Amino acid sequence: MTVRHDERVHANGPATEPQSHAALSIAALELLSDVIAGVDEEHGSAQFFSRLAEVVCRLAQMDRAVIFSYDDARRRVHAAGAHGMALEGFTEGHVTVESAPIARQALTEDRVIEVLPGARHDISEDFAELVGDHALVYVPIVAAGRWLGVIIAEPAAGTSPIDGPRRELLRLLGKTLALASASRSATFHGERARELEERIDFARDIHDGVVQRLFGVSLALSSSQPLTAQARARCAAEVRAALGELRSALQRPLGRTSPPTGTTLAAELDRLRAEHPDLGICVEGAVDVPATLEALAQSVLTEAVRNARKHADAHRLLVRTETRDGTLVLEIENDGVPALRAASTGVGLRLAALEALQAGGLVEFGEREPGTWQVRLVVPVSDGAAA
pLDDT digits (tens, 9 = 90+) for 5-60: 443 333 333 333 444 566 666 666 666 666 566 555 444 567 878 888 888 888 88
User: Alpha-carbon distance 151 to 171, whole Å?
Assistant: 10
Q: What is the pLDDT of residue 246?
A: 80
Q: pLDDT-derived band of residue 112, with 50, 70 and 90 as boundaries?
A: very high
Instruction: State mean pLDDT over 299-316.
Output: 88
Mean pLDDT score, 156-173? 84
CA pair distance 81, 180, nearest whole angstrom: 13
Q: Give Cα separations from 371 to 284, 317, 332, 336 (angstroms).
A: 20, 12, 14, 6
Q: The sheet that has 76-83: what strands, in order across it?
A: 76-83, 62-71, 146-155, 136-143, 113-115
At residue 187 the predicted structure's pLDDT band, cuts being 50, 70 and 90, is low
Are 360 and 340 in contact by the 8 Å Cβ rule? The answer is no
State whether CATH 3.30.450.40 applies to domain 16-189: yes
Average pLDDT on 134-143 reads: 87
Residue 15: what pLDDT? Answer: 35
R_g of the chain computed on alpha carbons: 27
One of 3.30.565.10, 3.40.50.12780, 3.20.20.140, 3.40.50.720 is the CATH number of 265-386, namely: 3.30.565.10
pLDDT above 70: residue 334: yes
**Rounded mean pLDDT, 160-182:** 82
Of 143-152, 225-234, 254-263, the one with minimum mean pLDDT is 254-263
Which residue, 293, 265, 263, is CA-closest to 281?
265
Using CA atoms, how far residue 141 sits from 33, 53, 117, 155, 157, in Å, is 16, 12, 24, 18, 24
Q: How far apart are CA 63 and CA 309, in angstroms?
A: 42
CA distance 288 to 74: 19
Is residue 194 predicted with pLDDT exceeding 50? yes
Assign 72 a pLDDT band (cuts: 50, 70, 90).
low
* Domain layout of the chain by residue ranges: 16-189, 190-250, 265-386
> How many C-alpha atoms does 72 have within 13 Å on its Cβ side?
13
> Mean pLDDT, the chain, as a whole number?
77
pLDDT in tens, 349-367: 777 777 787 777 888 888 8
Comparing CA positions, the residue from 35, 332, 326, 82 lying closest to residue 184 is 35
Give the separation between CA 76 and CA 188, rounded to whole angstroms.
17
Say whether pLDDT at 249 is over 80: no
**Tens digits of residue pLDDT in 1-16:** 334 444 333 333 333 3
Confidence of residue 331 (pLDDT cuts 50, 70, 90): very high
Select from 377, 347, 372 the least CA-distant residue to 360: 377
